[in-house]
Amino acid sequence: MRRFLIVGVVAASAAAMLLAAPAYARSALISVSPSSAPPGGTVHISGSIPVKDCAASDGATITGQGALFPPDGFGPTATRDASGDFAVDYTVPASTPAGSYSVGLRCGGANTGVSATLTVNVVPVGGPATGMGGSAHGSAWWTLFAVGCLLVAGIAVVTRRRLARRGP
């Protein structure tokens, strides 16, 4: 009997939470384009929150982790049009470490329950590591050596031509 009571309470609680969840959690939309960017790069965040769920006068606040939206995880608030659509360009802070970040929405002080993913890729600085090994640091010596080899080869070609012209 007690087991049925516990199951009934859990089921009633779950039903109450589903009914109390914001209705726009199923109808709001968000997208991030491109889905990956380097620190300092710009992304376009757009979407829609129906005006029947959140007044058009309320902006769409972009949310996420503090590393992506310093210092507290709240990004820009975009103005929504009469149908609830919004769009904003956002520059990823140069200090954002590489990783995947969830980008969400708030409207009217409540989370909408939708999210998109933005991947921050750190762009390598300098040339690629191509396996030059220790010679990468002594490249001036190798350059001089190569120039010397070309000079010796050039002298050998000129000398051979002169000898070929003289004949036997």
Q: CA torsion angle for 136, 142, 147, 150 (degrees, to 10)?
A: -100
Which residues form the domain of 84? 21-120
How do the residues of the chain divide into helix, strand and coil, expressed in percent and rounded to 5? 30, 30, 40
**Does residue 103 form part of some domain?**
yes
Report the candidate in 45, 67, 64, 70 with the shortest Cα–Cα distance to residue 102: 64
The pTM for the full model equals 0.59
Residue 158 binned pLDDT confidence (cut-offs 50, 70, 90): confident
Q: Residue 148's pLDDT is what? A: 87
Total domain count, the chain: 1
Separation CA 50–CA 69 (nearest Å) = 24
The CATH number that applies at residue 61 is 2.60.40.1930
**Does residue 106 form part of some domain?**
yes
**Does residue 12 form part of some domain?**
no
pLDDT tens figures, 56-110: 899 999 999 999 999 999 999 999 999 999 999 999 999 999 999 999 999 998 9
- Element of type H or E holding 31: strand 29-33
**Does residue 151 form part of some domain?**
no
Q: Residue 71's pLDDT is what? A: 92
Residue 138 binned pLDDT confidence (cut-offs 50, 70, 90): low
* pLDDT top residue among 49 and 11: 49
